Structure 1
Amino acid sequence: MSDEIVFLSDLIAGHARSAPDRPAVILGDRRIGYAELDALVDRAAAALRRDGAGRGDRIAICAGSSVEYLVAFLGALRNGMAAVPLPASASVEQLHGMIRDSGPTHLLIGAPCPAEVPEGLTGADIRVVSLSPQLPGDAWEGWLSPRSPAGLSFPRMDADTEFNLIYSSGTTGAPKGIVHSHRFRAGVYSQTQLLGFDSDAVMLISTPLYSNTTLTGLFPTLAAGGTLLLMEKFDAGAFLDLSERHRVTHAVLVPVQFRRILARPDFDSFDLGSYRMKYVTSSYLSAEEKREVLDRWPGGLIEFYGLTEGGGSTILFAHDNPTKLHTVGRPVAGHDIRLVGEDGAEVSPGKVGEVVGRSASSMTHYHNRPDLTEAARWTAPDGVSYFRTGDLARFDDDGFLIICGRKKDMIISGGFNIYPTDLEAVLLGHDQVADVAVVGVPSTQWGETPVAFVIPNSPDVDADALRDWANARLGRMQRLHALALADELPRNALGKVLKAKLSEDFVNLHGAA
């Protein structure tokens, strides 16, 4: 593979020279131009260098979205270091585990990171820098280098230098440290033209900065010289107001955000005509929901399918493929995606198999877990390695990928494979269903059996009647054992449903089916 990539830090420095006053970041009343952003990044990099940190080291950041967070991340990159963005919503114990595992030289904390986190790191050689006055550590402004010393040069990197270490959400087990290189990230932000980014782009960022979902929209915007509009915390009404006021052109959202925005009674009163493109990722929008976005929200809609680990990804240009909204699109150019069965062989056309993928956009490895790195590998007959996604899917006759669910979520009932997404799609076709999750629960008769958890959009929904309606439309082996109404579904910070918790809660309340 060629090492000829353009580094993000160099792109930002270039924008600072060519368009110094163009807004790079906006948060509330604060507006930072590219020249100011570049100078702040220099100061953060110089402070890290002053502290003895350099190429091969890492900084950890646990905080809400802020200009300082972004500057710290970019400053680490400029100093040849990698960033470790930590989920502020994690428990203190989980955060301690991630910090010890990643071994950073610096920990930057800000609200809502728990104040107790630094207290549990006694004895560790980690400098704590506080982005919030009420939290312990050296104050950000005092820690920053006053100015980047004239003539200070930062280490040059190569394509395989570590860019970031991101911990997985842990929805299917303990969080794993995913290592991305500069090559991986360049593969994302080099697609700016394909994805509609340019220097006039205004990207509204409403998901946490620790999330790879966020970074897939954030870095291409900076690479293109566009403007990042940050939200400290997502709110559907505030999102619409900011979109109208700042003439937003792009947004990356997870499905639950689309649902909350479109459900607002005043949605159609906002002028969203500036939008060029919306992106959905992290989990899947139903075909009906994609259609609603296309019908009601100006601009195109792109759905990304892929894991934080990378491997193989697909893109659905929904606005260009109105008959393929039930799919997640075709493989990205240069991405080789195959489907394999339980026996390790590729499945025949039209059959369901586990998605495995190969591309330049693949993680380097799981940090400190060579066992998991090896377990995630599928080797083709020609000896080429692919990354196992754990997702089950099939290709249609036109090469569009149809996701059937997670391998761990698949329900095996009486020896038959049941894909929860098939059942969820049927229930979402009922006009009184706002959202749904189907999980498998233990069954003394069948081994496992499906149970649905439904958020109704009407107060007079009858659970038994809705179950009967669904079962009349499902195959005999797919039929729901039970259907429970819920006010909400348990989700992580990015809106992914915690299906293991739903199954556990059902068994704790009702026992085996």
Structure 2
Amino acid sequence: MIRFAASQRPEHPALFLNAHALSYAQLDMLISRVAASLQRDGFKPGDRVAACAGTSFEYVALFLGALRAGAVMTPLPPSATRQNLTGMLANSGATLLFQDRACALSWPTDALVEQGLRRIWIDEQGGPGSWGAWLSRETRPHPVDTQPNWAFNLIYSSGTTGTPKGIVQPCSMRWSHVQRAATNGYGPDSVTLASTPLYSNTTLVALLPTLALGGTGVLMGKFDARRYLELAEQHRVTHTMLVPVQYQRILDDPAFDQFDLSAFQAKFSTSAPFGAALKAEVLKRWPGLLTEIYGMTEGGGRCELEAHNYPHKLHTIGRPASGHDIRLINEAGQEVPQGQTGEIVGSSSAMMEGYYGMPEKTREVEWFDPSGKRFIRTGDIARYDEDGFLILADRKKDMVISGGFNIYPSDLESELAQHPEVHDSAVVGVPSRQWGETPVAYVVLKPTATISSETLLEWVNARLGKTQRLADLILTDNLPRSEIGKILKRELRERYESPLK
């Protein structure tokens, strides 16, 4: 599709980044050179290619060049810990890693290179091991007959899990995203502003369809509310995908109302809970349609709330999207009657093949109805209202979503348990204006402990990834528990009375 766009409008801008532009003709040629380089190096359809780097034209070309060669792109999150990044790379089976120097500061890979990993510096044009030296001048890679069930990419849903899980998204799943985008107004004249990282599925579900349909993508290396507004006005942006905290920060900018955002046709939000009051403010102050999308990187069921059409339903996550079968089940795996709460499970054409190399983990998130139809379990609890809109009740897994990133409390609790003066701990998510949610720990010390909460907080944050770090740590004599000994995290959330500013 990108090649077709290049043949129709070769000079039309495909990408903008830092005042630089890349036309469709240039992007198409760069993609072909990447594909030819991979084929030269012996890569075959299904082989893994990994990247851990910031946003760049080269990163986009690598992603799409891998697709053209039939290889499977594996984007890794630079914000994850060294241990988790090494685990993700090992799980993927990738033998070629594209890395930039900034990522290498937090994740040195020299030892992995000595063990046989090939590393290319994606942000360097000259010298041994550089992108410029690796990239072939050949612009005609061997044609590959891509199949719908082939893996398009391998995405790790979070860099915070102790055992990384790679989500295999097939080409058919990405194709469904392109079809959805076409119905949402994306097209050759669309301009999409992408302000989240390229390794995030939040970015890819908007950027990839934009390019497939011949539109223009405006990239941000790092999100900044004022810069976002400047780019939106400058490029006459029509579409965007943001996480809720980004909406909050943009609206909080004192100069928001001074920018011309009249070109906006549609705005989307995903990846984290979107408060009703914030939705209402976006509808009031920001031109264009607003749609909240509820779903998982794993795929399955998707809900959409067209907030502009249903302003009285802003407390919901909308109704199942067309072609998406969403049901609610109880602990026994049985569907619950209308009006009752249950775990959300979903089925559609947009579903992962499974967690790569982890069949047991894959089975844990699968549910089959009596006819044998496959669904993906979300771990979220909800109920349908009388109009068929879903209302989220709780998150079964107690996952914290901070700035659009998933944080698993058990990982943070495991780190705290490594300290010799810690007896027990519980991590919960509390409201944060800056991040949407942020993790806070309640800790019970051993009787002989002398450490202060400030010192312990500094100690554990030094061991965590950037997106995992605790905002606060409270020492307590005990943790509330149920009769069967389960920590009552809801009580801890309620105990933390004032939201963090």
TM-score (norm 2): 0.81
Shift of 1:198: 1.0
Q: Which deviates more, 52-61 or 116-125?
A: 116-125
Contact 1:128/1:137 (<8 A) preserved: no
Residue aligned with 1:26, SS: strand
Q: CA 1:297/1:162 → structure 2, altered by over 3 Å: closer, same or farther? A: same
Q: 1:93 is aligned with what amino acid?
A: Q
Match of 2:120 in 1: 129
Residue aligned with 2:28, SS: helix
Shift of 1:134: 11
Residue aligned with 1:345, SS: coil
Match of 2:479 in 1: 512
Match of 2:54 in 1: 64
Q: CA 1:242/1:50 → structure 2, altered by over 3 Å: closer, same or farther? A: same
Unaligned runs of 5+ in 1: 1-10, 411-419, 422-436, 443-447, 458-489
Q: CA 1:136/1:289 → structure 2, altered by over 3 Å: closer, same or farther? A: farther
Match of 2:72 in 1: 82
Contact 2:148/2:170 (<8 A) preserved: yes
Q: How does 1:220-259 map to 2 (within 5 A)?
A: 220-259=209-248
Shift of 1:348: 1.3
Contact 2:167/2:354 (<8 A) preserved: yes
Does 2:338 correspond to 1:353?
A: no
Shift of 1:204: 0.5
Percent sequence identity over aligned pairs: 45
The separation in 2 between residues aligned to 1:451 and 1:288, in whole angstroms, is 23
Q: CA 1:180/1:449 → structure 2, altered by over 3 Å: closer, same or farther? A: closer
The separation in 1 between residues aligned to 2:476 and 2:104, in whole angstroms, is 32
Residue number among 251, 269, 294 corresponding to 1:262 in the alignment? 251
The separation in 1 between residues aligned to 2:148 and 2:288, in whole angstroms, is 34
Does 2:381 correspond to 1:392?
A: yes
Deviations 1:111-145 (A, max 9, x none): 43124532131454432110234999611111111
Does 2:16 correspond to 1:49?
A: no
Contact 1:12/1:223 (<8 A) preserved: yes
Does 2:186 correspond to 1:197?
A: yes
The separation in 2 between residues aligned to 1:173 and 1:406, in whole angstroms, is 20
Contact 1:249/1:276 (<8 A) preserved: yes
Q: How does 1:444-483 map to 2 (within 5 A)?
A: 453-455=430-432
Residue aligned with 2:354, SS: coil
Q: How does 1:84-483 map to 2 (within 5 A)?
A: 84-115=74-105, 116-133=107-124, 138-149=129-140, 152-170=141-159, 174-409=163-398, 453-455=430-432
Shift of 1:405: 2.5
Q: CA 1:405/1:347 → structure 2, altered by over 3 Å: closer, same or farther? A: same
The separation in 2 between residues aligned to 1:396 and 1:135, in whole angstroms, is 60
Contact 1:197/1:226 (<8 A) preserved: yes
Contact 1:12/1:38 (<8 A) preserved: yes
Contact 2:87/2:163 (<8 A) preserved: no
Deviations 1:295-323 (A, max 9, x none): 00010111110000001111111111111
Deviations 1:70-112 (A, max 9, x none): 0011110000101000001112221111111111131100143
Shift of 1:384: 2.1
Q: CA 1:291/1:456 → structure 2, altered by over 3 Å: closer, same or farther? A: closer
The separation in 2 between residues aligned to 1:153 and 1:379, in whole angstroms, is 40
Q: Which of structure 1's runs of 4+ aligned residues deviate more than 6 A?
A: 134-137, 448-452, 493-496
Contact 1:96/1:117 (<8 A) preserved: no
Q: 2:250 is aligned with what amino acid?
A: I
Shift of 1:381: 2.1
Match of 1:4 in 2: none
How many residues are aligned here?
A: 434
Match of 1:24 in 2: 14
Unaligned runs of 5+ in 2: 402-406, 414-424, 435-460, 481-501
Match of 1:460 in 2: none
The separation in 2 between residues aligned to 1:87 and 1:334, in whole angstroms, is 31
Q: CA 1:306/1:135 → structure 2, altered by over 3 Å: closer, same or farther? A: farther
Contact 2:318/2:389 (<8 A) preserved: yes
Q: 1:30 is aligned with what amino acid?
A: H
Q: CA 1:452/1:138 → structure 2, altered by over 3 Å: closer, same or farther? A: closer
Q: CA 1:494/1:31 → structure 2, altered by over 3 Å: closer, same or farther? A: farther
TM-score (norm 1): 0.79
Residue aligned with 1:192, SS: helix
Q: CA 1:136/1:356 → structure 2, altered by over 3 Å: closer, same or farther? A: farther
**TM-align CA RMSD:** 3.0
The separation in 1 between residues aligned to 2:178 and 2:259, in whole angstroms, is 30
The separation in 2 between residues aligned to 1:135 and 1:280, in whole angstroms, is 40
Deviations 1:425-456 (A, max 9, x none): xxxxxxxxxxxx9x99x9xxxxx999884557
Residue aligned with 2:308, SS: helix
